[in-house]
Chains A and B, each alone.
Chain A
């Protein structure tokens, strides 16, 4: 029995379809969600969500961060921003990475939370560039 994967961003419901497995970029490492997974709420970092159907990956989406709620029947991803990998623009990704790099360089090195936030943005932008390259 497949699990229902839902991806929503603040302005719309992007995807709602049954999949055999979804791999989501959790804050502490990639996480594969199969049907019957224990209930979890996880924080996401920037990365790609991969949908697996019939034993192979069928489609990939880039998310810039967000949350996921996993229950045995369902996996709901609340993405800050989600785009199918094929539509990620290389130039936009690089622009964002440059911006994030600059923000990180400008951040106050003593202000640890701000520094961490800047680093997370940097990593999300890097993942976006990687997604654009893979497409």
Chain B
């Protein structure tokens, strides 16, 4: 049985761990609130953009010189994956889940004989994929140290992807990120950026009629040329802020668990400590009494 001193030291160390985890939980909770507000504030723009894009896509998709960003290159040989994770750990399985989803996707695509390229956003995803797939990673971004994700940060990544598409360096682009479902649930999700998935879902709502008759100024192509890169940036931005909110949620519940576990452990150790102390007292008493009897 451990000595009393060792037990006391152990209890103190678990107590300070509990203080840290509960503080981290509080911090995550307040950051979560902020991230959630940001995610909600960004929603109107994305929704309206989607609506506009649907109207435009319907009238432009048929034309033979529709932009590449809308219909893709017509092939699916080179696949670009954008993997969005957090920069910090201690958030439960948050980063690992995305990492695993990315790994599965890479294995699946390579199994089909496709070429895979990866851009990572966030340090943890890079660290995870670097071990096995270092040579597929062509770019890495990290916004560590930033209080919140700004739209201008995302622009940089989106500009890179746009340039790559223009140069024909990939055919299909997919983002893998943690979708924020609720504070305790984040689902790793794959979302396609290029070609736009809405085209395939289109036909059923086509006969809606009157709302399709937009006029365009200057013309459809000029608007699409400006709108599509914008849409790409918005989709990425959305993935990033959802992931940021998810990270805080995941950290909050991970730290909540850790705090609870630390509490349980303290209770167990305290019980153990008291028993040991009692045992020591009893033993000493027995020694004294039997010593006295021997006289």
A associates with B: yes
Does chain B have a CB within 8 A of A89? no
Does chain A have a CB within 8 A of B38? yes
User: Chain B contact residues (Cβ within 8 angstroms of A): what range?
Assistant: 20 to 34
Whether A10 contacts B237 by the Cβ 8 Å rule is: yes
Which one, B124-132, B172-180, B181-189, B212-220, is touching chain A? B212-220
Which one, A37-45, A48-56, A97-105, A127-135, is touching chain B? A37-45
Whether A8 contacts B223 by the Cβ 8 Å rule is: no
Does chain B have a CB within 8 A of A123? no
Which one, B6-14, B50-58, B79-87, B198-206, is touching chain A? B50-58
Partner of B215, one of A40, A67, A78: A40
Q: Decide if the interface of chain A is mainly helix, strand, loop or mixed.
A: strand
Measured in the bound complex, the distance between the Cα atoms of B209 and A39 in whole Å is: 13
Closest CB-CB distance, A17 to chain B, in whole Å?
A: 14
Taking CB atoms and an 8 Å cut-off, the chain B residues in 127-158 that contact chain A are 150-151
- A6, A28, A41, A69: residue with the most chain B Cβ atoms closer than 10 Å: A41
Measured in the bound complex, the distance between the Cα atoms of B52 and A8 in whole Å is: 13
Whether B217 contacts A27 by the Cβ 8 Å rule is: yes
Whether A11 contacts B41 by the Cβ 8 Å rule is: yes
Q: Decide if the interface of chain B is mainly helix, strand, loop or mixed.
A: helix
Does chain A have a CB within 8 A of B226? yes
* Contact status of A41 and B44, CB under 8 A, knowing A11-B151, A27-B218, A28-B217: no
Interface size on A, residues (CB 8 A): 22
Whether A43 contacts B218 by the Cβ 8 Å rule is: yes
Measured in the bound complex, the distance between the Cα atoms of B233 and A78 in whole Å is: 14
Q: Looking across the interface, which residue of chain A has its beta carbon closest to that of B212?
A: A39
Whether B52 contacts A42 by the Cβ 8 Å rule is: no
Whether B45 contacts A9 by the Cβ 8 Å rule is: yes
Whether A10 contacts B216 by the Cβ 8 Å rule is: no
Residues in B with CB closer than 8 Å to A11 are 38, 41-42, 45, 150-151
Name 21 A/B residue pairs within 8 A (Cβ), A-sorted: A6-B48, A8-B44, A8-B48, A12-B41, A12-B44, A13-B41, A26-B217, A27-B217, A27-B218, A28-B218, A38-B215, A39-B215, A40-B215, A41-B223, A43-B217, A43-B222, A67-B226, A69-B51, A69-B55, A76-B52, A78-B45
Q: Which 7 A-B pairs have the closest CB atoms?
A: A12-B41, A13-B44, A8-B45, A10-B151, A42-B217, A40-B215, A39-B214
Chain A residues within 8 Å of B, Cβ to Cβ: 6, 8-13, 26-28, 38-43, 67, 69, 71, 76, 78, 80
